[in-house]
Amino acid sequence: MTTIFYLLAYFAFAAFFALACCKIRGYLAASPLHVRWEIYPVPHEGKKAAYGGSFMENSDWWTKVRHVEHFYDILGIFKEVLLLEATFKHNHTLWFRTYPFHFGLYMLMGGSIILFFTVLAGLLGASPLWNPQEMEGFVTFIHNVLNSVVLIGALAIFGGGIALICRRMNDEGLAVYSSREHFLNIGVFVLFAFLTLMTWACNADYVILAATFMHNLLTLNFVPQESNLFALSMLLGFFVLLWIPLSNMQHLLLKYFMYHDIRWNDVPTQASVTNQNLIPDLLKKQVTWAAPHIAGDGTPKSWLDVAVNVPNKTEK
Amino acid sequence: MNKHLQIRDISTVEGQLTTVQENDLPQQRLDLKFMPWKPYTEEQKQSFACLLDEVNVLNIPVPKSKAEEEDLVNRFLTGMRKLFTTENNFTCLPMLQTSMDNCVQCNSCSSACHLFEMSGENEMYRPNYRSEIFRRIYKQYIKKEPFAKWRYGDLGLNWKTVARLGELAYRCNLCRRCAQTCPIGVDNGLIAREIRKVFSQELGISPKELHEKGTVLQSRAGSSTGMTSQVVKDNVEFIDEDYSEITGIEVHTPFDVKGADILLLHNAGEIIAWPENVAAFSVIFQEAGLSWTLSSKCAGYDGVNYGVFYDDAQLARIALMHMQAAKELGVKKIVIGECGHAHKALTVIADRVIPYELQTPRESCYVTLRDIVMSGRLKLNPARNDFPVTLHDPCNIVRLMGIVSPQREILRKIAPKFREMPCHGVDNYCCGGGSGFAIMSRNNIEEWRGNITGRKKMWQIGEAFKDCLGPETKKYICAPCSNCKGQIRELLAHNDLYEKNSFAYGGLVELIVNCMDNVNPGFIKWGEDE
Ligand code: SF4
Ligand code: SF4
């Protein structure tokens, strides 16, 4: 049983990364070059972004050097991810519920990453986070911080999650669009947060439990968990990990592309030799749209054939 | 009829799904009259799917048998499958796929939509309503996700679902204001256009104003107005004559000048409906000493590209014709006249569709005009524009191209009483004629534009001029886009706002010419002067 538990953990991590890669690869494979579909303001326009301006405001813009201030793109996405800026601006009521929820998730994710690296450092000779007797110095500090992070994070997820469920049930507009999956997604997180809180409250030291588990995972030391509650919360955690890329929570992985590659991708073809070379290849793709004005006659056609042969001369 | 719709109602409800009535509409400063919906005739109901509301854009024929019903559904699903392949949809697949998979149904986009707000929050107009129906069809019938019925709810798919969804795709102005607000990056405007593509590209169903009388006519005759090359040249010659007299300047509009710096691409509708716009461009370009020309090549004299609203193949064909006209003349750049969708179609969308070697650089006329006005090449007397002016921002040029400042620089220089509308620049609202509706009036579309789609724009105009409403003060609504002007013209006329409020509307060039010192005064006309 214990071995299965550990195998499940490896599987969940491996599956998460595999599914995440599939999603991202799927996105990138969907089209080597989609049409420009930018929407302003675009942050990398720098000063112009303040009012939503673009390089196309300059006369003969194609003769000028493009100034793309990537720093503002990074700043923009950070503000969006960390503060949920758009929700704050456009959906205040929801922000007060969804922000604690997301904030809690960030805390637990951040905490897990710190935990992983601290345990790794311990394995490489630093003070061991999983051993309270030998723990010292900065690692003790991290240990104390992590215990607070887990408590605050789990509380935020729990409170935010309950508030989100209530809002979805009681708001007439949201109720129409809230499917079982929404409640499942949020419900799983609320349950996870609840189990984490219970584990935190019912055990001497949550971080020691977590660090011991991480240590065992990294050293292939398959020993049973000290706390059943912790084991249960971890099982739920493995499910969540798997579930994220399969549900609409995949926005965690794709938001970057939706902002950088779609909303803010304003690269004119004139400025990209790669894109210049891609267009002719894309136009060779075969079209099978069945309407009479495209490929309705059944003859194989490329997009180029479609564009240059206008059947309309004879069409009504 | 239900105004609080559920998703599944799209498939289950018999007859007309919903309605918007006078008492649903929010009140506002300007006195706007409700335009009563014309009831469907029995013949209409029997012939066409009149299943959504009072408006019928697509005129989808009612299937005559079970087999025809199934055929419609199957052809729709086949089209949807194609939509999700790189071969058939390399242009938009990444945007579509991410918009299908990532919406968290937070409704943050709802309040951004002028249709949702101005219909009294009718559920049908919530930007996510049509998207979610399409998404559920995708997940249940195309992608066949495990447990889709349990996860999202079972959406029964029948011919009514398909017919209503097709109509729903035409209850959107494609202004993408909703997309601008989405925290995730989902684009409900794009989804509406993708649904339109399935109907046009697979089922051959599209509004006749956009297809037969739009892109098809343009490909054949050269212009969606039906004007051939010779007719355009003759008309422009008449305009030159008329406006030489009106302005006191000998106007000559050049055609087919090989090697000119600029090919000016008008929306040909201007030649028929707003000749003063064409004349104003000619006066300005001529007086500024530019090297420029119009083209008389097929489609080279009409910048319209309705493909951008409904069909990628038609979009590419028209854009290619525009590029070919420019290449043939060997111009350095195409300057696009006052037409929003022409701007976006040729500058932004065609940019990754037309091979680079066939392209000629494109510039917005706002930019060219800004340079002319700021250069001092024209002698301008802003005192001639001593009336309140406000500016309408065409979505395609502003939110979707980021051209915000040039037109404002011009107005600040030539219109001393310029004031912004609330929600201007990239936060603007569509005029209500966006995505092709400005040229449609049948089947209650005109009433729909008056009652719902144009209402928010009227609110903005009312707010911009709130200190000087009434007939005493002449006011100018600067709407530098052909389709937007058409929509605003009808809103003003229907509500008697020319008389009640002394409004005039027009483009940017008319305002420039109105204050040119060497032009006879009074280029812009108000109701009583005409
Ligand atoms: S489209 Fe965006 S804003 Fe609208 S409901 Fe979906 S995630 Fe929310
Ligand atoms: S694109 Fe514009 S009209 Fe269409 S749903 Fe979005 S906000 Fe509304």
**Which of B107, B111, B202, B373 to mutate to probe the A interface, most A CBs <10 Å?**
B107
**Which helix (DSSP H) or strand (DSSP E) does residue B262 occupy?**
strand B262-265
Task: Tell me which of B201, B346, B373, B377 to substitute to probe the interface with A (most A C-beta atoms closer than 10 Å).
Answer: B201
| Chain A touched by B2 (CB under 8 Å) | no
Instruction: Give yes or no for residue A297 having a pLDDT over 90.
Output: no
Strand order in the sheet with B418-419: B418-419, B389-391, B475-478, B503-506
Closest residue to atom 2 of ligand 2, CA basis: B175
φ/ψ of residue B299, rounded to 5: 70, -10
List, as one string, the DSSP characters of B344-358: IIIIIIGGGTS-GGG
Q: Amino acid identity, residue A267? A: V
% pLDDT > 70, chain B: 99
Return the closest-CA partner of residue A102 out of A90, A86, A121: A86
Restricting to A residues 263-282, those with a Cβ less than 8 Å away from any Cβ of B are 263, 266, 268-270, 275-276, 279-280, 282
Could you tell me the domains of chain A? Answer: 2-30+91-263 (1.20.950.20), 283-308 (no CATH)
Residue B131 CA, closest ligand 1 atom number: 1
Q: Residue A160 pLDDT more than 50?
A: yes
Selected for mutation to probe chain A from B96, B106, B145 (highest A CB count within 10 Å) is B106
Q: How many A×B Cβ pairs under 8 Å?
A: 271
Q: Which of A35, A275, A291 sits opposite B200 (nearest CB)?
A: A291
B1: pLDDT strictly greater than 70:
no
**Nearest residue by C-alpha to atom 1 in ligand 1:** B186
| Alpha-carbon distances of B431 from A69, B87, B452, B460, rounded to whole Å | 33, 35, 11, 10
B108 CB under 6 A from ligand 1?
Answer: yes
**Quick check: B367 contacting A, CB < 8 Å?**
yes
pLDDT band at B2 (very low <50, low <70, confident <90, very high): confident
Residue A35 has pLDDT above 60, yes or no: yes
pLDDT tens per residue across span B188-247: 999 999 999 999 999 999 999 999 999 999 999 999 999 999 999 999 999 999 999 999
Q: Which residue of A31, A105, A266 is the best one to mutate when testing the B interface, meaning the one whose CB has the most B CBs within 10 A?
A: A31
Q: Count the neighbouring beta carbons within 10 Å of the beta carbon of residue A70.
A: 10
- The H or E element that residue B413 is part of is helix B405-414
What integer pLDDT is reported at residue A315 of this predicted model?
A: 43
A284 touches chain B (CB under 8 A): no
Angle between helices A180-202 and A228-243 (to 10 degrees): 150
C-beta B186 within 6 A of ligand 1: yes
Phi, psi angles (nearest 5°) of residue B334 = -100, 125
Residues 6+ apart with CB under 8 A from B449: B432, B433, B437, B438, B487, B490, B491
Q: Does B406 touch chain A (CB under 8 A)?
A: yes
Residue nearest to atom 8 of ligand 2 (CA): B113
- For B:5-64, CB contacts with A below 8 A are 5-7
At residue B68 the predicted structure's pLDDT band, cuts being 50, 70 and 90, is very high
Q: What pLDDT score was predicted for residue B528?
A: 53
* From A33, A266, A293, residue closest to B313, measured CB to CB: A293
Does the CB atom of residue B380 touch ligand 2 within 6 A? no
Q: pLDDT tens, B443-454?
A: 999 999 999 999
- Cα(B92)–Cα(A261) distance, rounded to whole angstroms? 12
B176 within ligand 2 shell (Cβ under 6 A) = yes
Q: Is residue B169 in contact with ligand 2, taking CB distance under 6 Å?
A: no
Q: Is residue A173 less than 8 Å (CB to CB) from chain B?
A: yes
Q: Is 70 exceeded by the pLDDT of residue B266? A: yes
Interface of A with B in 124-163 (CB under 8 A): none
Q: What is the ipTM metric for this complex?
A: 0.95
| Protein residue closest via CA to atom 2 of ligand 1 | B182
Residue B145 has pLDDT above 80, yes or no: yes
- Please indicate whether residue B140 or residue A316 has the higher confidence score (pLDDT): B140
Are residues B425 and A307, on separate chains, in Cβ contact within 8 Å? Answer: no
Mean per-residue pLDDT, B173-185: 97
Q: Which of A34, A310, A316 sits opposite B91 (nearest CB)?
A: A34
Q: What is the 3-state secondary structure (H, E, C) of B61-127?
A: ECCCCHHHHHHHHHHHHHHHHHHCCHHHHCCCHHHHHHHHHCCCCCCCCHHHCHHHHHCCCCHHHCH
pLDDT at A309: 87
Contact assignment for B91 to A35 by CB distance below 8 Å = yes
- Whether the CB of A58 is below 8 Å from some CB of chain B: the reply is yes
Asked if pLDDT for residue A314 goes beyond 70, the answer is no
Pick from A42, A251, A285: CB nearest B90: A285
Q: How high is the mean pLDDT of chain A?
A: 94
Contact B92, B194 (CB under 8 A): yes
Joined tokens for residue A82? 């960390």
B398 and chain A in contact, CB less than 8 A: yes
Contact B348 A54 (CB under 8 A): no
Looking at the partner chain, which of B363, B370, B400 has a beta carbon nearest the beta carbon of A39? B400
